[in-house]
Amino acid sequence: MSAATRVCVAVLGALGLLGTGPGVGMAGENAAPIPVIERFLTVREREVRTSLFSNGVLVVSARRSGERILLQQLTLPADQFGGYLAAIQRDAAELAAADELPSAIGSGGRGVVTVPVAPGGPLEFTYSTMAVYGLAATRLIATLDDLEQQVLNSLPTGAGVAGWQPRPGDVVRLRGGPLAEVLEVRDDGSVLLEHRETYINELVAPGQIHSVVVEVVESER
């Protein structure tokens, strides 16, 4: 059994989410991984599913218009996984104790979050990416954003990125799959991108463009 799995078995056992009696430890060790937290985030035609499992495996898959454009996973170190698990359970417990759960009201993307290992029982809520929520919900959403970003940052660099210097007109693929065009390279080194799918502009901080772009699709050189 991995260190991450031992962490989860210990915590789930303490929460009473594993059975009791002879052989429980072995059953916990051999049981199939269960989701610790999961999110379906839909923005226009793009849906991203982020799942953290009890064995420390983190999986991100993305679809656009029903077609899969990304499937990537990594395994978190045991101490990092344990920290996430404790924070998730803390925030889920606080959220469950609130008067009402968040709801997806207003414009923006829509997220559906499920926490099967919440201390009081499985918890689910929806939210809008353009709305503001309480501290517990905000922290859970931030945790999921961080988990998703870890996986996206682990993606290998694609063609043409090494040594690439952005120029207006270059078309690039970003982490997570979307295409964007370089609109402007500013004097301070920041780069203004326009997302091809949404036409939303994104300003990338100086020195960060090579961590955002995974492939140069078209170059003006």
Cβ(109)–Cβ(41) below 8 Å = yes
pTM of this structure: 0.67
What is the CA angle 160-166-168, rounded to 5?
A: 125
Domain boundaries, the chain: 34-153, 171-218
Residue 201, helix vs strand vs coil: strand
- Give kind and range of the element (H or E) at residue 206: none
Q: What are the pLDDT digits (tens) for 141-173? A: 999 999 988 887 777 666 678 788 999 999 998
Indicate the class that CATH gives domain 34-153: alpha beta
How far is the C-alpha of 86 from the C-alpha of 88, rounded, in Å?
A: 6
HEC string of 177-197 equals CCEEEEEEECCCCCEEEEECC
- What pLDDT, on the 0 to 100 scale, is given for residue 166? 93
**Which amino acid would we find at residue 16?**
G
Cross-strand bridge partners of residue 182: 193
- Strands 213-218 and 171-174, by their bridges, are antiparallel
Q: What are the pLDDT digits (tens) for 104-136? A: 877 778 999 999 999 889 999 999 988 889 999
